Structure 1
Amino acid sequence: MSAELSSSNILSGADNADIKKETILERLNKRNKERQNCLDVKLEQRNKENVQLEGADYFAFTFAERVRAIEEQLQRITEGADAAATKLSAPIANTNNPDLTCLFADITLQIQELQRYLTNSTMFLTDFKIKACQNALNELNGNCEELRLRLIPKKKFGFSGKKVAPKVIVNPRVVGLAADKVDMPEKTAKAISSSTAFEWTLANRENEYICLEGDALNGKDITISNLRDCFVELRGHAGSVQISHAIDCTFLCGPIARSLFAENCERITLALACQQLRLHSSNICRIYLHVTCRAIIEDCTNIEISEYNYKYDDMDADFQQAGLDKTQNNYKDIADFNWLSPDVPSPNWRLVKDAPAPAWNELRKQRQIKATSL
């Protein structure tokens, strides 16, 4: 009997030893897998960082080379004009020089292409780098326009280049005016430069419902200024949109091919789809956003961001015409130039998740009734 117990104890001890051995091996294998996974994650992160650094370095080199090439072209034009002026002993002001016109048109296209290159590269650039490059582009564009106006000044009088006024749907209280009446071109308080005037598509409106669509909008650069308590719809595919000085307004925008730039806005609601959003010096704004690159805010407070939810007939066709990808929306990726800390979220904007879509149709009807009663 004792021999059987002894044999049983030996077998039980062997089984326990095997179990302990298996447990130890399992723990070692698990620890080894965790270690290997950790190494794989670190390696992937390191490779990703290397790719980003290589991309940033390549961008910096390419961007600088293109800027330098454009500056050299402007310098050659300046030297050629000065030489011609010295030879003729008179200032150069040849408004009928097709060579200069073609040169400036080509340079403008190069600057626009460089702007697109910057926009498409914002995903891997730092906020400081984006701002520095944008400032360089603004200066380059200003120098080009200044030189163009000096060498090819605009005619004081003439109507051959007059823009056709877009058709605007306005509220009934202005129907008594000309059927296709729009705002007259005006100079803004902040002109692009001291020698240029800016023409606004819509300006100085209050308590109105306004809708641009069709040929009045598609592919055009739409500029809006000094609106208060207005409801504006851009139903189509604009080329770009600029909004300045808007208070208590609602803007519903279809797909915009390039960018929307807004400044000095207070208590506005904005629904838009675009390639890039730039919002400056604005406060208390709710934005329903679809953006394929990166949205940028500067000197802004109390900005709420939610997903784009404006809809109308033929919107899919307008997305295609604008060249925007409906499946790519980076509305959660907002760069705040006043908050460069990578670890702490900016206090100037917040993401509103699962926000209910406003009843745009009802809001439109209310605003139309209000505008009619005034």
Structure 2
Amino acid sequence: MQSPSRIGRKQPNLAVTDPSASSAAAAAAGMEPELDSTKAAAGNRKHLAMLERLSKRTAASSAGSPEASPVAAFLSRFAAAKAAAETALSACRSSPDGAAASLAAASSAVDDLERLVAEASHSLPPYELRSALAAVSDLRAAHKLAASEIRPKKSFSFRNKSKATKNPPQDPPALPQPPQEQPKPNPDAILPGFGFRSRNGATLVRDLRAANEKDGDFTLADLVSCEVYLKGKCRALYIHKLRDCRVFIGPVFGSVLIEDVERCTFVMAAHQIRIHEARATDFYLRVRSRPIIEDCSGVRFAPHALKYEGIEDDLRDSGLAEDTGNWVNVDDFKWLRAVQSPNWCLVPEEERLPIVDISEVQEKED
């Protein structure tokens, strides 16, 4: 026998005259408000749960988005700084009248780019770091070329003056001599900036505590057979292309980026140190994080061995008063095996430098 509800669905005309169907419909009608409120509450709970899930998903996707990545942030800043340097270099050639000012602006822009790479070097993946370093190197070479193109124009103007003095027909053979003497002096104006560049066999001393560049950035580039002494602290240090040098540096309260060095000795303290293409070189370090090497061979490490009057205050002010012992915890990015990397080792104790006191080393003008 079919229930009244099923009869009502199949035969609507009979359901109206069936008393039992009418009573069942009335009972169902009496429960509708209660059922509707229960369903509404359940629906609200599901809706709120769905909104919460969507909110969490959105927050998670935002946190993992490339815009929030430190690498993406660096690449954005690097692209802007690189564009500024390229614009300044273009101005050197497009406006000869203001070439000197444009050349100085270009040098400053390239220095800013170097500093940006040095500060971010510790957190960048190897590929991004190599690309950034290559871009900086290309811009530095372009700056050198622009400077060399500008400088002969100045010497040519001096040659014109010498032609004016040549008017008296007394000494015609002296004409070739002035142009030969002019190119001989090659000062470091080609690479202006804060640091030492393009020196050979020099003793380079700077007390950063007394200099106008206090707590700034410092650059060492293209040095051969030099001894470098820096007393005081600096924010960042960029080192490029040194051969047979001994370098003693006060605390660096930022990053140190070392690239293309050979047969050198470095004594320094810093928060972060990253080393690329070093060969047969010793590092005496105090460093907050683990030193990183890449494309290196024959490099050795030992504890910090530098002293000068006031170094304790400089170390404390730089957050380097405590020796973490990380000088021995070297990470080789080109050696991913579990065994010890063959590219680095510790300096044997009997070969280590004693504490080097540079308190009496005097500042020199080179």
User: Normalized against structure 1, the TM-score is what?
Assistant: 0.49
Bigger proportion of residues as helix: 2
User: Normalized against structure 2, the TM-score is what?
Assistant: 0.50
State which structure, 1 or 2, has the greater radius of gyration over its C-alpha atoms.
Answer: 2
